[in-house]
Amino acid sequence: MVLVVGTVVAAGQTAPSLPPDPASSVPYRPITARGRFNWFVDNTIGPESLAIGLFSSGFGTATDRPKEYGTHWDGFGKRYGMRLTGVSTGNAMEAGLGAIWGEDPRYRYYRAVGEPLKDRMRHVAMMTLLSRNRQGHLMPAYARYLATPGSNFLSNTWRADSEATTGAAILRTAWGFLGLMSKNAFTEFWPDIQRRAFHRK
């Protein structure tokens, strides 16, 4: 999928068949160095990231994964710290690498309202792998491609032995992209589900 996006989106060009961004009429403001730092902080220790960390660490503690940490509060703290260091490493890599070629890490999914279901599903997948360049045009999210697997393999150096394997790092990388894709799908389809489920005549 990454290779497909890389071939259909040349430098600075918009991927074909994607619906227009409703905000495209608003002048794009390139991200600044301070903006990159703020993005890093918000995506590392912002409310959403911390809440996800609480959930994932709690789930890992309840299911005793990895077993080296146990099912007590100390184990919960180790799991939370392990996730936080991995997230911070990935975010630092994405923000730093993206600065080299002007990739904007700020991610804002826009819906493909009115398009056929097949096209909306493709839009969900494509936007998982796209970012914006200095001109605000869609481009392959190269920094994301490098940071997600890079941070997961690097985190093997401080993870518990049972999770410090090549297979585990590949699985975490896949979950990282699937998590973002799921977030896109929720943004895309949840308003439709709400309207149909809670429609009042």
Q: Choose among 114, 118, 94: nearest CA to 106.
A: 94
CB-based contact 63:81 (threshold 8 Å): no
Q: Please indicate, yes or no, whether the overall pTM of this predicted structure exceeds 0.75.
A: yes
Residue 200 has what pLDDT? 56
Below-50 pLDDT ranges, the chain: 1-16
Please report, as a single letter, which amino acid is at residue 96: G
Residue 25 has what pLDDT? 65
Residue 3 has what pLDDT? 42
- Distance (Å, whole) CA 143 – CA 95: 8
CB-based contact 109:22 (threshold 8 Å): no
Residue 18 has what pLDDT? 76
Q: Is 114 left (phi over 0), alpha (psi -120 to 50) or beta?
A: left
Residue 17 has what pLDDT? 62
Place of tokens 């097949």: 118
- Distance (Å, whole) CA 94 – CA 89: 9
Residue 1 has what pLDDT? 46
How do the domains of the chain map onto residue ranges? 29-197
Residue 108 has what pLDDT? 81
The answer for residues whose C-beta is within 8 angstroms of residue 22's C-beta and 6 or more apart is 110
**pLDDT tens profile 147-187:** 999 999 999 999 999 999 999 999 999 999 999 999 999 99
